[in-house]
Amino acid sequence: MLRTSFVAISIHQAPDHIYIAHATIKRALCWIVLHQGEHGSFPEPGRIIHTDMQEGAAGGIPLSAYTLNALLANRRKLSSDLTKLKLDNAVRRGEKRLVSQLDVIADDPYSLPVTTYALVIKVSQLDVIA
């Protein structure tokens, strides 16, 4: 999950430097949405061999917040209404999960900022739409 999210964010930031087909981005985002947990979390499926690369986003709330950032960064690139609907549903579930865990992560120096950033980006996108 972390690597797919990282690539999705990197692709979002790279359009001036490299062409990536929208279908490729769409597949990555659909994979993320497909693997979302039932309570809105974004768990890491499978086994991670090189855990040092994960740093603070090794799992739980930080991973869910980082993954939500990837979905939010790329949501405008989707053309299919069905895909946008699925992504928007995943974003709502992810946001609800993060908000429900704010008390738990209040003293965590990594989880709190990455979660706050995801929630601020979500709110700022609502302001643009309105």
Q: pTM for this structure?
A: 0.79
Low-confidence ranges of the chain (pLDDT < 70): 47-59, 78-79, 82, 126-130
**Model confidence over 101-122: pLDDT tens digits?**
999 998 988 889 989 999 998 8
| Residue 57 confidence (pLDDT) | 47
Q: Domains of the chain by range and CATH?
A: 2-129 (1.50.10.20)
Cα dihedral sign for 39, 102, 46, 34?
A: positive
| Residue 11 confidence (pLDDT) | 79
